[in-house]
Structure formats: C-alpha cells, structure tokens
Amino acid sequence: MDIVVSNKASRPLYEQISSQIKAAIMSGELKAGDAIPSVRSLAKSLHISILTVQKAYASLQEDGFIETTAGKGCYVSAQNQDFYLEEQQKKIEEKFAEAIEIARASGISLEQLTDLLTLMYQEDDRE
C-alpha cells in the first residue's frame, strides 16, 4: 500500500492519510486483520510529523476502520466495511434531501429529477 501526501493539497495531511487507508480497505487491498504501517515508520517514510500520523490513525480508529493493540501495532478492523457504507449512505441521503428541496421549490418533477440523476450517474461511469 502506497500513501502519497501533498502539502499543496487543500486537505490536511492527516485527512489525506486516513482517506487513502480507508480507500485501500474499501477496495479490498487491505483486508481485516492486515497490519498497517506503524506510526513511526509511516511518519518517517512520508517525512512528516509523528503527531500527524497519530491524528490520522486516531480518526481511523474512531471511525472503526482500524484497531490498535498496545505493543503489537495497528490492524484493519473486521467490521469496517459495513460501517463505512452506512456512513456514505447517510451522506448521500443528506445530499438527496437538499436536491429534493430545490427541485420541489423549482417545480421540477420526480421524473425529471430521476432522469437527471440517471444521466449524471451514467455520465460519470463513462469518464
């Protein structure tokens, strides 16, 4: 698993790290029980502060993606995928609620809204 961070990115370094590890877990590149790099080794390889990596790992642990065992390291958690998918679904529902509110206020029908969503979803698949 390669992690790449950039000081020029708009997102903080710890978020860049945690999102890349989440993506590796969700894609199956990292599986339940797999070890992830130690805080020190990742900080050293990325040439960043140990505190930044600790913050990323704390976020991942809080979200249920990794588990930390004292003296043994950090490992991919078993229940992470269902939890992550649930979180993503909540985010989508919030965005849909906003879109529905705008559509209703503008007189856009459910059929038009559905057609638009379908078109946009299929368009992104082709890119």
Taking residues 84-92, report their average pLDDT.
82
Q: Which residues contact 78 (CB under 8 A, 6 or more apart)?
A: 32, 33
The answer, as to whether pTM is greater than 0.85, is no
More confident residue, 115 or 89: 115
Q: How many helices (H) and strands (E) does the chain have?
A: 5, 3
Coil, helix or strand for 29? coil
pLDDT tens digits for range 20-74? 999 898 888 998 899 999 999 999 999 999 999 999 999 999 988 999 888 888 9
pLDDT tens digits for range 21-34? 998 988 889 988 99
Q: At 24, phi and psi to the nearest 5?
A: -65, -35
Q: What is the mean pLDDT of the chain?
A: 90
Instruction: Tell me which H or E stretch contains 75.
Output: strand 73-76
